[in-house]
Structure 1
């Protein structure tokens, strides 16, 4: 089994506390994470995140004061 590394991804907006958005798990090759693999994994992660923000589940109701 190849070695892997898990990297938590956080975001902070303004003065709000940071929130963990998820975790990227990537293979380690030669003791390092390949930069090209990291870029692809980050791009895929952020595309999925943008899709979830743009198309929330039907049961996800936004707060009327905009704090959702």
Structure 2
């Protein structure tokens, strides 16, 4: 990483994860219920935050939630 930046991430996540897209443009942050996307080429990286997924309550098997973290 040659251009470090600070992104204020505010979520009540029990667990979280991070991944960078294959072309290095997007950062994905996952939490207990949400996945967010940040554009690393944007002037305002923090302002480029987009909610791309939200846990919908699906459970399989019953009582075993499939969270994102």
* TM-score when normalising by structure 2: 0.31
- Which structure features the higher share of helix residues? 1
- Which one has a bigger Cα radius of gyration? 1
* TM-score when normalising by structure 1: 0.31
